[in-house]
Amino acid sequence: MRAWLRDTAGGLSATYWYLWSGLLINKVGGFAVLFLSLYLTSQRGAGAAQAGLVVGTYGIGGLIGTLAGGVLTDRWGRRRTLLTSHFTTVAALVALALSTGLGPIAVFCALLGVAQSMAGPAFVAAIIDVTPAGKRSRAFNLQFWALNLGLAGASLLAGLLARWSYLGLFLIDAACTLVTGVLIAWKVPETLRSPVARHARGGLGTVLRDRIFLVFTGLTLVQALIYTQSNTIVPLAMHADGLSPAAYGSVVALGGALIVLGQLFVPKLIDGRPKHRVLALALLVDGLGFGLLAFADHVAWYLLAAAVWTVGSMLAAPPNAEINSELAPLALRGRYQAVFFLTFPAASFLAPALGGAGLEYLGDAHWLVVGALGAIAAALHLVAGPPRERRVAAVRHETAAVADVR
């Protein structure tokens, strides 16, 4: 068992583990956003439409914060961006806990979106900085596991806390964020140490002109669109089949359990294999899982399909993050992460909009379209893989040259 744990950890640095611990604490303590809509309707007298608008400000703030976080990660450094993000998040959560009017709540909700999302590019850029290329697959695999473990914990704790006190829910969330901020201030040094990187030219325009990276980001968006069906369109399909919310809850629980129990074993399966082929297989499995729903009319079918698409997402997570890290030049890692991270809020908007229309007008055939989309994305990964690997080699050479200057 100890040998397996050593292999899983992969000799990762102490700084990585402090960052990993911060991610886990943040996710376990991330109660507020999960219950924000319910808080507004049950405690602040908002209607469904008003609650939707207020919560929508969090999403808008998230888009702004992701881009700002990417720029600041490169200009200020990883540590300063992370500290600003966490301590501003604490202030926003306390302000939300004490606010009563919908106007101030909307303002602080938007601020919360900005502050929380700033941390994403900085966390990933710092992990890339402190992790050698050969160990990044394990590092990102553990990161994905921590995020899902934390989400499972947050979902369980949030329900209990909401019954006790919404004020307590916001304040405990703030306390967890404060703990992470203090941990980073105490134990995480600045990882962007190269003066060449700090003063290198380039900006978001450079990222947006990088065709190889944009193709990869586009394929990641397709992957996110497919997987986001699980929490947007699948519950609608299950309702149409006469299944209860509890049945959908069992589907969600199965997926979470598989990730928590199985994600740590994924590196053994994929290490040493070409990443574009692993991603192609993952997209095929994803598409197969959702394609099975074309024949689903009982909870057992949905559970089987969920098991299949969860395996696909587990296989995809490490190489997806690793490729993203490898394509980013040292001087622009934060900006590259910011553009990459935008795929997820984009998918959160597009998946329900397109998926809802597909389910309404195509019925069960909608899931065959989703399955075909996975197959197409898999084929595109195989085509895009070789030029992507050549770019990765060039970026590695550039990073090594900067390290020599340092």
Question: Both 207 and 292 in a single domain?
Answer: yes
Paired tokens of 165: 């006190």
Question: Both 17 and 129 in a single domain?
Answer: yes
2-36: string of b/e by CB count within 10 Å (b at 16+)?
eeeeeebebebbebbebbbbbbbbbbbbbbbbbbb
Quick count: other Cβ atoms within 10 Å of Cβ 96? Answer: 24
What type of residue is 230? S
Helices (H), 228-274: 229-232, 234-240, 245-262, 266-270
* Final residue in a domain of this structure, among 193, 217, 240: 193
Cβ atoms 126, 191 nearer than 8 A: yes
Asked if residue 8 is part of any domain, the answer here is no
Question: Both 223 and 315 in a single domain?
Answer: yes
* Final residue in a domain of this structure, among 141, 162, 193: 193
Which CATH number covers residue 127? Answer: 1.20.1250.20
As a whole number of Å, the CA-based R_g of the chain is 21
Quick count: other Cβ atoms within 10 Å of Cβ 211? Answer: 10
Q: Is 191 helix (H, G, I), strand (E, B) or coil?
A: coil
Cα distance between residue 356 and residue 231, in whole Å:
12
Into how many domains does the chain fold? 2
DSSP at 293: G
* Final residue in a domain of this structure, among 193, 209, 232: 193
Cβ atoms 319, 199 nearer than 8 A: no
Which range of residues forms the domain containing residue 226? 201-406
Quick count: other Cβ atoms within 10 Å of Cβ 317? Answer: 22
Question: Both 320 and 349 in a single domain?
Answer: yes
Helices (H), 292-364: 299-327, 333-341, 343-362
Question: Both 336 and 260 in a single domain?
Answer: yes
Provide DSSP, 99-164.
Answer: --SHHHHHHHHHHHHHHHHHHHHHHHHHHHHHS-GGGHHHHHHHHHHHHHHHHHHHHHHHHHHHHH
- Report the candidate in 7, 129, 6 with the shortest Cα–Cα distance to residue 79: 129
Cα distance between residue 234 and residue 248, in whole Å:
8
Helix H or strand E segment including 85:
helix 78-98
Per-residue pLDDT in tens (0 to 9) along the chain, 406 residues: 445 445 555 578 999 999 999 989 888 777 677 677 767 877 887 776 777 777 778 878 888 999 999 999 998 999 999 999 999 999 999 998 898 888 898 899 899 989 998 998 999 999 999 998 788 888 888 988 888 888 777 766 766 666 667 777 888 889 999 999 999 999 999 998 765 555 555 677 888 889 999 999 999 999 999 998 887 788 888 888 888 877 887 887 788 889 888 888 898 888 889 999 999 999 999 999 999 999 988 999 999 999 999 999 999 989 998 888 888 888 888 889 889 988 888 887 788 778 888 888 899 999 999 999 999 999 999 999 999 989 988 887 776 555 444 4
Question: Both 249 and 362 in a single domain?
Answer: yes
In terms of Cβ atoms closer than 10 Å to its own Cβ (0-12, 13-18, 19+), residue 376 is: middle
Q: How many angstroms separate the most distant Cα atoms in the chain?
A: 65
